[in-house]
Amino acid sequence: MPTTPRMSVARHILIDCPEHGEENRLTPQPDSHDRYALGFTSGALLARETGIAAPLYLDSHDWGEVRGRLSEDNLLQARTASSAERLARETVQRLTVFNDLELELLVEASPSERSLLLWVAACRRYSFIGEFAEEVVRERYLLLTPSLGYAEFDSFVSGKALWHPELAELKDSTVKKLRATVFRMLTEAGLLVDGQIQQAVLSERVREALDARQPSDVRFLPVRVPTEAVQ
């Protein structure tokens, strides 16, 4: 069953997806649903890219400067100027969901910690991914039905399209690209192996960082609560 959509006051919503152009700003009427931002197909978790960008920000505390350096100096080693700009923009957008303490943790993190943090970053940045993580991935894990395939993703999209007509307007090729990217993210985060959802193993410091937000961002991960944090 689809969940009741959040209601919001009129405000600017950034749409960044293949079906709506690169950056379109819309002002919905009061009480309209928020259109999903779907521009997350540039890479997957972006672990390498965020490993370059996060330290730059901690030095300058200026995301505009970081984005400029990433694209102009091609620090992310993109093949073309346009892809360098696109990848720099997406990397910065993902990282801006973190505060300074979280960014410091990201820089210091082990590969497994970093992967989980970057999955959470994608969930924060894109409510579409966050809702899929919470309503499908974590729910199936808690119900002891850990298998996860394309059918579950397609069912999720169909359900959400009742409240988000922009999903019904997407081309099949775009839906497939979104689906492939989300499953690649889950795989890179170590949360999906051979079609089976894997429990997220949280270190104490990552768990504390996620629990610092209300509601806790642990909701985006396949874990049971309470859970033991590893040292």
What is the structure's pLDDT at 42? 84
What is the structure's pLDDT at 152? 98
pLDDT of 108 over the 60 cut: yes
What is the structure's pLDDT at 98? 98
Tens-digit pLDDT profile for residues 147-205: 999 999 999 999 999 999 999 999 999 999 999 999 999 999 999 999 999 999 999 99
Following DSSP, what letter does each residue of the chain receive, concatenated? -PPPPPP--S--EEEEETTTEEEEEE-PPTTPPPPPP----SSSS-HHHHHHHHHHHHHH--HHHHHHHHHHTTTT--SSHHHHHHHHHHHHHHHTTS-HHHHHHHHH--HHHHHHHHHHHHHHH-HHHHHHIIIIIHHHHHTT--B--HHHHHHHHHHHTTT-HHHHTS-HHHHHHHHHHHHHHHHHTTSEETTEE-----BHHHHHHHHTSSS-GGGGSS--SS-PPB-
Bridge partners, residue 197, by sequence? 192
Name the pTM for this structure. 0.83
Q: Rounded distance, CA 170 to CA 104, Å?
A: 38
Q: Of all residues in the chain, what percent carry a pLDDT higher than 70?
A: 83
Would you say 199 and 222 are in contact if contact means Cβ atoms under 8 Å apart?
yes
On average, the pLDDT of the chain sits at 86
**Res. 34 pLDDT band, cuts 50 70 90:** confident
Range 63-70, long-range pairs (CB < 8 A, 24+ positions): 63/92, 63/95, 63/96, 66/92, 67/92
What is the structure's pLDDT at 15? 32
pLDDT of 9 over the 90 cut: no
What is the structure's pLDDT at 226? 55
